[in-house]
Amino acid sequence: MKKKILITAIIIIAIGVGAYYAFFNKEKEEFTLRTDKISKGDITVQVTSTGSISAVTTVDVGCQVSGIIKNIYADYNSIVKKGQVLAKIDSTNLIKSLQDAQINLAKSQVNYDASDRNFQRVKALFEKKLASQLDYDNALTAFETNKAGLASAKAQLENSKINLDYATIYAPIDGVIIDRKVNMGQTVNAGMSSPTLFSLAYDLSKMQVQATIDEADIGKIDIGQEVTFTVDAFPDDRFKGTIYQIRLAPTVSQNVVNYVVVIDVNNSDLKLIPGMTANVRIKVAEKTNVLRVPNMALRFNPPRDLQDTNKVKEAMQGMRRGFGGMGMGNNGAQAQNPQQGRQQNQATQTAQNQQRGQAQQQNMTAGERARQFGNGGGFDFSKIQAFRDSLQKAKGGNLSREEMFAAMQKRFGATFGQGARRGDMAQNRQNNRAQSSRPQSRVVSGDAAKFGIDQKFAFYQKTSFSPADQTGMGRLWIKDANGLLEPIVVRTGITDGRYTEIYTDKLKEGQEIIIGASSNLDNSASSSSASPFNQQNRMGGMQQFRGR
């Protein structure tokens, strides 16, 4: 009996000790926060690619006759002028062919003269009815046959002379020999295709880079954008260029669709050599002196224990309502109430839409631009249209565009029509920019207009999607007065991969934000599974959407 009591007591003591260590002696979890500061600076969005450097115009010089290379007068890097002799092909066989053509022409001439005399004699007898119709037809047939043979012999002689001229290779343009593919004594065969003897570059002081751009980035590229690139030969130098052409032909490599973008480069110092590989960076968007935060801050989600639950609920309610009342107006602006915050955001959105709509306004009529401005400015377009129709009817349809605008401004206010005029001014600026930046064709002949060939697509220019127009929503975490973390929902702008632009009036430059946390138990980053913002975290810390 005493033994059972002792065993029971030992078991109870063991259970008590285990419970103590399990529930009362557990090490308390503590977190160490990593912080950073909000800063102001520049953010540049770039598209990177690689391309090959080549001359603007490169001509492969070939030959149209076969034979042995007898003489070569130009070598690598030789500077040549148009019409200068580059090489000669052995013309022994060509001279013999010319002599045979001359002999054949002489024979044809003799046959022609004999048939002509015979035909004239038979013709005279036939007219006097002293020769038969058969004799006349035979004489005429022989005369016409020999006449055609004489013409063929003359053509053969001309062809032999041309082939003899082809034995001398001339430079088709001024330029530099960048490649020589034949040597003296080498036999070239022009039977099926024209063999290449030299590669001639027109002007090495003006080069081009043919870069391949992925289809995911081609929408950001536009003609006239600035480009910087480096080459391995001069790693410390930064070369500049301008996008000249976006070619429409796609190329597929490993199931990835790419497009060729041609970049004009000034090579006045002759550092760049054809064939070099260029590491290209195309600047597609840039903003200066903007409020920015590290991307880590937008991806961070604190553990549940560190969150201020009341502030989290308020933030979630604000996200459901949208940006209104969440203090997300322009930087430095103080939103007095939710209504004012919504008005500020609507004004910002309207300004962005007007910027994006400038390209579309090029194709709008004046009435459509007036409709767009009228809707944005609070005008009732039905009244405007009724007033316009009545005015045209009263004037018998003889009202000019200027008179119409003046009457509408007088009727609806001085602000009417400014939107349409701004659209016209934007269109003029766009046309002037395109005209001034449009280079002359470097491939197509200047006589193309004679044959009705439109050169528009040779300088294909589109309205590119600008990442500067991209807006989204994200949240940051700051430490409140209670030592807990408070979420701040912000509007996000462009990002360069390290920093992201933000719009908010609740945060200022130099203010500390939380970018990470580590636990003393597992010594790893805190889990975000308990955060109500998990969806945003899985999407890179912010839900991006087009601000349209």
Shared domain for 266 and 284, answered yes or no, is yes
Tally of domains in the chain: 5
Q: Is residue 1 scored above 50 in pLDDT?
A: yes
Residue type, 188: V
Shared domain for 529 and 542, answered yes or no, is yes
Q: What is the mean pLDDT of the chain?
A: 77
Strand-by-strand arrangement of the 187-188 sheet = 168-170, 85-89, 67-72, 187-188
155-191 pLDDT tens trace? 999 999 999 999 999 999 999 999 999 999 999 988 7
Shared domain for 77 and 135, answered yes or no, is no
- Position of tokens 């009705």? 452
290 DSSP β-pair partners: 41
* Cβ-Cβ contacts under 8 Å for 520 (sequence gap 6 or more): 27, 29, 30, 31, 32
Please give the span between the terminal C-alpha atoms of the chain, in angstroms, as a whole number.
86
Mean pLDDT throughout 332-342? 40
Shared domain for 137 and 247, answered yes or no, is no
Residue 213 lies in a domain: yes
Shared domain for 343 and 475, answered yes or no, is yes
pLDDT at 317: 78
Shared domain for 281 and 204, answered yes or no, is yes
Shared domain for 539 and 394, answered yes or no, is no
Rounded Cα distance between 343 and 319, Å, is 17
Name the helix (H) or strand (E) containing 366: helix 366-376
Around Cβ 451, how many Cβ atoms within 10 Å? 7
Shared domain for 52 and 109, answered yes or no, is no
pLDDT at 338: 39
* pLDDT over 90, % of the chain: 41
Final residue of a structural domain among 288, 306, 335 = 288
pTM of the predicted protein model: 0.60
pLDDT at 54: 93
pLDDT at 366: 39
Least confident of 315-324, 374-383, 519-528: 374-383
pLDDT at 20: 62
pLDDT at 193: 75
pLDDT at 440: 43
Residue 388 lies in a domain: yes
* pLDDT over 70, % of the chain: 66
Residue 455 lies in a domain: no
Residue 16 lies in a domain: no
pLDDT at 459: 47
pLDDT at 470: 74
Instruction: Name the residue range of residue 172's domain.
Output: 59-90+167-195
| CATH code where residue 283 lies | 2.40.30.170
Q: Is residue 417 scored above 90 in pLDDT?
A: no
Mean pLDDT throughout 441-451? 57
